């Protein structure tokens, strides 16, 4: 925990009240986590949680994700023995991410440093004589190594799962069934949302008629209704083409 929150500083402690702070910024607008420019009390403290978004193939270091299949309906139709083609890029990108974190700890490439626990070519491993972590990670070296060991274990399990899908027809059938169920649920959720929007537009149109503003909003409401009806027809067509 100390490693994860090493850049979160407690500038003050309140007594019967919370305390909040604004940190300084460098010339490029990046926050300076250990320097506050303002501290104040707050009866109800607030914190804006950063949005968590998955990496995209356009992000540096994640180019392999371009060939990853995440569409549930597509995964529900993958033939036996072809799952690695669709899913292996996820494991490969994860392995590359782990390697980048290992380099931050000063790990060396297998064959140069300590390789007793090497599991695959290109894996990085610690060399106790040359380990030189980034300055902010140096105090947390043990915790960082343990975290990366867990990541390597998770990577092994991911790859084993993908291999299982390609070699066990029963596992493959179960995986396809699960993805098909989720894809159908997604379609039904879209149908429900479209129905709720349709009802909302209908209520608004009726209210406009009663309020004498029908001539102003009729075209707008009708256009939205037509779009919703089209979306519903498309979803219904998809459901009919993919019966349970």
What's the gap between Cα 118 and its chain centre? 29
Specify whether the CB–CB gap between 73 and 179 falls below 8 A.
Answer: yes
How large is the average pLDDT for residues 36-43? Answer: 92
Report how far residue 201's alpha carbon sits from residue 222's, in angstroms, rounded to the nearest whole number: 9
Report how far residue 35's alpha carbon sits from residue 32's, in angstroms, rounded to the nearest whole number: 6
Report how far residue 113's alpha carbon sits from residue 127's, in angstroms, rounded to the nearest whole number: 5
H or E element: which one contains 11? none
- Annotate 188-241 with three-state secondary structure: HHHHHHHHHHHHHHHHHHHHHHHHCCHHHHHHHHHHHHHHHHHHHHHHHHHHHH
**pLDDT score at 29:** 87
> DSSP H helical segments within 50-121, as ranges?
72-75, 83-104
Query: pLDDT tens-digit profile of 193-225?
Result: 666 665 665 566 555 545 544 444 444 445 555
CA distances from 55 to 52, 60, 64, 175 (A): 10, 9, 11, 24
Report how far residue 244's alpha carbon sits from residue 238's, in angstroms, rounded to the nearest whole number: 12
Query: pLDDT tens-digit profile of 42-58?
Result: 988 788 888 888 899 99
């Amino acid at each position: 925990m100390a490693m994860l929150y090493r850049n979160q500083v407690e500038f003050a402690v309140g007594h019967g009240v919370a305390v909040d702070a604004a940190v300084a910024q460098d010339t490029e607008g990046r926050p300076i986590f250990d320097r506050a420019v303002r501290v104040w009390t707050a009866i109800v403290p607030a914190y804006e949680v950063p949005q968590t978004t998955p990496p995209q193939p356009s992000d540096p270091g994640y180019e392999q994700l371009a060939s990853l299949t995440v569409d549930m309906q597509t995964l529900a139709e993958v033939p036996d023995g072809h799952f690695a083609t669709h899913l292996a890029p996820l494991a490969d990108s994860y392995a590359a991410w782990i390697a980048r974190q290992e380099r931050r700890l000063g790990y060396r490439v297998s064959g140069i440093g300590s390789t007793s626990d090497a599991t695959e070519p290109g894996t990085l491993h610690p060399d106790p004589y040359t380990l030189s972590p980034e300055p902010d990670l140096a105090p947390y070296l043990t915790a960082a190594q343990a975290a990366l060991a867990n990541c390597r274990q998770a990577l092994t399990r991911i790859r084993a799962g993908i291999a299982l899908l390609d070699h066990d027809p029963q596992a493959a059938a179960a995986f396809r069934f699960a993805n098909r169920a989720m894809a159908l649920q997604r379609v039904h959720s879209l149908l429900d949302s479209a129905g709720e929007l349709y009802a909302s537009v209908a209520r608004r149109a009726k209210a406009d008629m009663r309020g004498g503003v029908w001539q102003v909003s009729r075209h707008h409401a009708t256009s939205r209704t037509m779009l919703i009806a089209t979306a519903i027809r498309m979803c219904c067509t998809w459901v009919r083409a993919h019966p349970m």
